[in-house]
Structure 1
Amino acid sequence: MKKVFKFSVVSIAVSFFAAHQASAANTWTEARSDAMGGTGVAAGSYGSGVLINPALLAKAKPDDGITVILPSIGAQISDKDNLRDKIDDVSDDINRYRSSLDDINLFDLFNPTSSGYKQVSSAAGDLASQLESLKGKTASGKAGGGIAVSIPNDTLSVAFVAKANARARVSSYIDQGDIDMLRAVEKTPATILGVDPDNLKSKGFGRAAIVSDYGVALARQFDISGVPVSVGITPKLQKTWLYNYTVSIYNFNSDDINSSRYRNDDTGFNVDAGLAADFGENWTVGLTGQNLFSRDIDTKEVDGVRDTYQISPVVTAGVAWHTSLVTLTADGDLTETKGFKSEENSQYVGVGAEVTPLSWLAVRAGYRADVKNNDSNVFTAGVGFAPFNTVHVDLMGLYGEDETWGAGAQLSVAF
């Protein structure tokens, strides 16, 4: 009866990241692209192509050498219902309610003038109000990261990549019977004699998935009627961890989420592929398909509850206009991004711009929207530093509706 109900999407996303050393805001995390509205299918650099569109790997310039990304990381949190603060409040109210029950004696339960009677009544009412405020509330988080080594070659460019993406969602099921019972205790504390507080039916749900990819990308450029066309493919080993944390809301403890009781994993094979074509000196169009093989993976069944995580193809088209000073770019998903079957799908479009006033400085901004209106629309921005054109440091941040915010960073070195 002394467990604390305290669940933060931020802490869960961070704990997933720390435990597995990588995790992605979409199917990839790359700070330059993320700062430009999540675009990059046509505008990405050859060194980051293996994360976004493997065809870009073949677009290395003559003076480009081996590029190492170590690492690229990013995270995004959405909490439109201010669930983090509400859960902290519920935690306090649950502890107060339980303490009032532990401290009261039988005589006080029937004595409206006693302090124990008043404490139980007040604590029950406050907890009922907090449960009412939690109805239908959700919070979600995403985190991502990756490392890559890209080796350009006139015949066949090669890259090695390890990347992952994590997503977590917290929600609650509040049983009206629990609220009614607490209201009854508020009115007449002696009602608690017929109720076991640990048998209340309200539940807390934590769903999370981590998808890790380990692959080798191959890319080559062809000349088709005078148009340079690059083709790339990334066969990859894919491991997935799923978390189905389902427990009474009165015993919800975020420290238990990594327990094997709620976790299962699956290993399989998948493929990313892409195309990129240059039209003149300033225009590039691209097309990429991530996770071309669909896979449905069931979570563990916990307390009679099971969910299914869907890994499905995400096809994205992009276009970019670029000069030595300015890059303008736009991407749009041609397919939906799926996740747990219990959640709604999303489909993203984004626009972005980059200005390079100095050879070692880039300033970026963009906007990303979910045309399905199931994820938050966000504004993005970032900067890039490239001293001596050898070490590249990219930083990005985002902010959007529904109390959404995020940040990312990337370090890359060219040899």
Structure 2
Amino acid sequence: MARKHLFLPTLIATLVSANSFAAVQSFDTRSFAMGGIGASTADYLTASFHNPALAARYGEDDDMAVLIPSIGAQIDDSEEIIDKTDSFSDIYDQFSSINNPTEQDAQLVVDALEELQSNRANVQANVSLAVAIPNQYVSVNMFVKAYADAFVFADIAEGDLDANKLIENSSLTSQALTMGVVIAEIGVSLAKSYEHSNGTFYYGITPKYQQVTTINYVTDIENYEFDDWDDDRYQSEESNINLDVGLAYQMNNGLAFGFVGKNLIENSYDTSLTHGIRGEYVINPTYIASASYNHRLFNVGVDVELNETKSYDVIEGTLNGIDADADNKQMAGIGVEFNAFDWAQLRAGYQTDLSDNLADQFTAGIGLSPFDVFHIDLSASYASDNELGAVIQTSFTF
């Protein structure tokens, strides 16, 4: 059980200590609490994470804003692989200490392995910072952020599920692995607006530098430690330039529409080769459409990703084939926010994965913004007792 508590703090600590920051996904508290929406509802400070065009949508009294920082994590361990692997290690250690093990002793090991077979867990974490400078010429939003996305998989050998063979060999070939990615970004969003009689049209662009570190940690299942994934020998690092573009239209009656294309330059990244296992991670363009109704006292909106985000496109060399599409995501969300005259906010939402790889989840959050200057926001998500997340964020607006 202790290893479960070590894993997320280690992951987040790695993000915080990264040399550069940023990422593909965003965990800002307002969006997270509202079902992940943002392409037509994000404010000018978080526009870079959702739709660069919205950096130009600001109020008359808005001069500058600073996000320092947003920190979040989310875990899906519905199959309880983390606890099961921990328990298996204890069972196997006890079996290995017996001088003349019986078939019954070996069967306890086999039963524990069968409990683990093909189990997996997903973990995501994010750290982000931003500075927004809105103005009538070109609104600017500078940001840095780091995003980690990983899955843990139990790769069980069929030969290890025979109690008699286990007594004869007293060794296992089953393994466990963590495959994932840490994406660091630094970029700047530039946006303009054009007003006409029925509303305002916004358009923006975000050039950004990405540093992509792939993770391929593989070891014997009885020796698996969740916090060993960050060893350099399991990592491979590359960098590139990428681009986001966005459009938004705010009507005078409160209706708003948004469209954004993220990571328009597709790139693939090979992992290191570990125990004969390799993978290829892909950052592919993702397109999002959004509609919302924005009022001073409440906002309601919906976002839909129009295509899948691929993640690992190739995984080769495992004992049991891993479906590389099992970590694809295509998110859709709906959310609402109630605003008490810019002093406090109450938010709720619902998010689903159209690829059917992640469980549907409910989201909620609160915000406090005295004098509309200092902001502290908290949000959380829940799908089950082992599928949950949380984000905390502080910011200043002037």
Partners of 1:89 and 1:60 lie apart in 2 by 53
Q: Distance in 1 between matches of 2:295 and 2:222?
A: 58
1:407 aligns with 2:387: no
Q: Which residue of 2 aligns with 1:177?
A: 159
Matched residue, 1:378: 361
| 1:15 corresponds to which of 10, 28, 42 | 10
Query: What is the aligned-residue RMSD (CA, Å)?
Result: 2.1
Correspondence for 1:135 among 105, 117, 131 = 117
Matched residue, 2:285 = 313
Matched residues in 1 for 2:381 and 2:247: separation?
A: 28
Whether 2:55 is the aligned partner of 1:57: answer yes
Q: TM-score, normalised by structure 1?
A: 0.88
- Residue 317 (structure 2) aligns with: none
Aligned pairs (5 A) from 1:126-165: 126-165=108-147
Shift of 1:6: 8.5
**Partners in 1 of 2:105 and 2:50 — Cα distance?**
53
Instruction: Classify 1:17/1:39 alpha carbon distance in 2 versus 1 (closer, same or farther; 3 Å).
Output: same
Aligned to 1:63, the other structure's residue is in SS state: coil
1:233 to 191, 205, 220: 205
Bigger shift: residues 242-251 or 264-273: 242-251
Matched, 1:278 2:276: no
Amino acid across the alignment from 1:397? A
> How far off is 1:358 after superposition?
4.3
- Deviation of 1:87 after TM superposition, in Å, equals 1.3
Residue of structure 1 equivalent to 2:319: none
AA matched with 1:71: P
Whole-angstrom CA distance in 1 between matches of 2:2 and 2:178? 12
Determine if contact 1:6/1:253 at 8 Å carries over to the other structure.
Answer: no
Q: Are residue 326 (structure 1) and residue 307 (structure 2) matched?
A: no
Q: Under a length normalisation based on structure 2, what TM-score does the superposition of the two structures give?
A: 0.91
Quick check: 2:260–2:289 contact (8 Å CA) kept in 1?
Answer: yes
SS in 2 for 1:340: strand
Question: What is the SS of the residue equivalent to 1:244?
Answer: strand
- CA-CA distance at 1:123 after TM superposition: 3.5
Aligned-partner Cα distance in 1 for 2:3–2:174? 15
Task: Report what 2:260 is aligned to.
Answer: 288
Match for 1:142: what amino acid?
Q
Q: Name 2:31's counterpart in structure 1.
A: 33
Q: Distance in 2 between matches of 1:11 and 1:49?
A: 33
| Equivalent in 374, 377, 397 of residue 394 of structure 1 | 377
Please list the CA deviations of residues 94-136 of structure 1 after superposition, one character each: whole Å capped at 9, or x if unmatched.
Answer: 2112222xxx2xxxx4xxxxxxx5xx55442211110011111
The offset of 1:401, in angstroms, is 4.8
What is the Cα deviation at residue 168 of structure 1?
1.1
1:258 pairs with one of 226, 230, 237: 230
CA gap of 1:29–1:58, structure 2 versus 1, over 3 A, is same
Q: 2:192 aligns with which of 203, 216, 220?
A: 220
- Asked whether the equivalents of residues 25 and 143 of structure 1 are also in contact (C-alpha less than 8 Å), the reply is no
Instruction: Tell me the amino acid that sits aligned with residue 180 of structure 2.
Output: A
Aligned to 1:114: none
Q: How big is each residue's C-alpha offset from its partner over 1:217-259, in whole Å with a ceiling of 9 and x where there is no partner? A: 1111123675411111111110011110112212323343222
Deviations 1:202-227 (A, max 9, x none): 11111110111101111111236754
| Runs (4+) off by over 6 Å | 22-26
Q: Which runs of 5+ in 1 are unaligned?
A: 110-116, 186-190
TM-fit CA distance, 1:305:
0.8
Q: Does residue 203 of structure 2 align to residue 208 of structure 1?
A: no
Q: In percent, how many aligned pairs have the same letter?
A: 34
Point out the structure with max Rg over C-alpha.
1
Residue type matched to 1:411 in 2?
A: T
The whole-number CA distance in structure 1 between the counterparts of 2:108 and 2:46 is 52
**Post-superposition offset of 1:19:** 1.5
- C-alpha distance in 2, partners of 1:152/1:333? 27
User: Which one of the candidate residues 331, 339, 346 is aligned to 1:356?
Assistant: 339
Count of aligned pairs: 384
User: How much has 1:40 moved relative to structure 2?
Assistant: 1.0
Amino acid at match of 2:366: V
Partners of 2:334 and 2:6 lie apart in 1 by 31
C-alpha contact 2:35 2:335 (8 A) present in aligned 1 = yes
Match of residue 72 from structure 1: 70
